[in-house]
Amino acid sequence: MKLSFKLVGALTSKPYAFSARSWELESLDFIDFYDSMLSTIRIDVRGLSIMRILPRINEKLNEEWISDKIRFSYDAFRRQRLVNPIVKRNDFYENIRWEEAFFYIYLNYNLKNYDYLNTKVTYGIAGNFLELESLSVFKEFMNSLKGSPIHLTQLENNILTNALTSDFLLNFNLSDINKSDFCLLLGTNIRYNNPILHIKMLRLANQGVPIFTLATPSNVKFKAYSFGLNINNFLKFIEGKNKYSLILHKAKNPVFLFGEDLNYRVDGIFLNKIFNFIRNLKIKAGFMISNPAVLSFLALGIGSNRSKENFSDLSSGDFIFNYNSDNLAVDNKSKKFIVYQGHHGDNGAALANILLPSTFLLEKKGTFLNLEGNLVKFNFIIKPGIDVRTDWRIFNALSLYFNSKFSIELNSYKDVIHLISKYLPNYIKNSRLQATLILDCYENNLRINNTPLVIKYNNYYLSDQVSRASRIMSLSAIKFKEYFLNF
């Protein structure tokens, strides 16, 4: 009898290898803020340094999986951080004190608004990594300045609204996907936007569950039947005019997942009517929104003005408050005064006249809303820098300089909670937001555009200001040329 031996080493994370011992680490619970599922994770900390991130088992959500982005991008949490207020004078940056920063903003705001007959307004821009608490105080601050509705850069040219919670929440639990016997992916790059769901789909495909796709990239690892790129193929399928329609008719637990890129189409309003009709049939369906900040933005009902024309109006405003957005494009920058409040210095900070350092998600406590409609709370993991302040305290201090009053006086975190309950009553009850529906009848004369569905491909590893500050994510972007892939 001949024996053969194979040496198998431990699956150790390369960035973590030989950097710490297990008994030196303190394990703390947190959430994956890159993913709208808000997967549960465990962060191992030694002192003020984050040493590694591991999945925390949650059978109802992410099970034992997390994305590679949250697992390996932790080196960016301390890189390119804004640690003190900075003002830009004559193309040179100078460190200043907080009192000077607040007075400088107040002075320039009054200089831009000295003419009472001037119709130009103050614009507020919101970006990534914003939880419910910070967004609600930002909304209150912009209302006190009588500025325009807050814009979210991720919703530019997007028809997605907050009129119905079903427009941005799922009408089922994510754990129900494991019990489905039919799946349809419509216009979603699931491997990039929701890698955990991609793993769930792979498991279903291995179990023999039929999975159909329309305008879904071929980078998925599971076997699927493709309808191509034409939306009419999908309409024929749900109307029973396709040879595969009988499979849907026999399914007892079908699941339909729609990509958020469908809301950028000209005929997106008509497509939403079809989707509402599908939901009214009690089919598990919903949009796969990848950014949790978008869910918080829509849940609070911030800004009803998200058309292309309203974003182009930024060129007419002289005072712009940029709250942690790195996707801002402004014309005639020299004629505007731009305030940037955020935690990482990136594209948005380069455009600003003054920078206000605020806490990162791991340095404060707050609440996010996930795809299921659950309010997920998190607590701080590490301490911020000496001159870094919490977002709601910065807005509260600015309101004192502007002599503007909030509807609720903010003296502590409890006051912030009362402010959120004003916009979101479910927050105090800690209850789930239900996906509300209106009865939509299916119409045969919907004006559907025949243009093929196009999915936007973003650089997966360098899609935001935090991951761009990560050395590991930069190496991953170089190694994997197809950026819309996960490992």
Let me know if residue 484 belongs to a domain. no
* Residue 373 · residue 39 · CB < 8 Å: no
Q: What is the pLDDT of residues 256-304, one digit of tens each?
A: 888 877 777 766 666 777 777 777 777 787 788 888 888 888 877 775 4
Residue type, 351: L
Q: How many Cβ atoms sit within 10 Å of the Cβ of residue 480? A: 14
Let me know if residue 270 belongs to a domain. yes
Lowest mean pLDDT among 277-291, 344-358, 402-416: 277-291
Task: Decide if pLDDT at 334 tops 80.
Answer: no
Q: Is 38 left (phi over 0), alpha (psi -120 to 50) or beta?
A: left
Q: Which CATH number fits the domain that encloses residue 233?
A: 3.40.228.10
Domains held by the chain: number: 3
pLDDT at 447: 63
Same domain, 318 and 394: yes
Owning domain of residue 280: 169-288+434-456
Question: Nearest to residue 129, comparing CAs of 469, 483, 479?
Answer: 469
**What span, in angstroms and rounded, lies between the C-alpha atoms of 105 and 83?**
18
pLDDT at 443: 53
Task: Decide if pLDDT at 51 tops 80.
Answer: yes
- End residue of a domain, out of 424, 445, 473: 424
Task: Decide if pLDDT at 307 tops 80.
Answer: no
pLDDT at 244: 85
Is the Cα torsion angle 139, 143, 146, 148 positive or negative in sign? positive
pLDDT at 288: 82
Same domain, 186 and 280: yes
**What span, in angstroms and rounded, lies between the C-alpha atoms of 357 and 343?**
5
Helix (H, G, I), strand (E, B) or coil at 169: coil
Q: How many Cβ atoms sit within 10 Å of the Cβ of residue 427? A: 24
Categorize the per-residue pLDDT at 89 as very low, low, confident or very high, splitting at 50, 70 and 90: confident
Let me know if residue 180 belongs to a domain. yes
Same domain, 123 and 203: no
Let me know if residue 416 belongs to a domain. yes
What is the CA angle 321-322-326, rounded to 5? 165
Same domain, 358 and 374: yes
Same domain, 309 and 415: yes
Same domain, 314 and 400: yes
Tokens 């949790």, residue located: 292
Please give the mean pLDDT across all residues of the chain. 81
Same domain, 396 and 331: yes
**What span, in angstroms and rounded, lies between the C-alpha atoms of 84 and 386?**
8
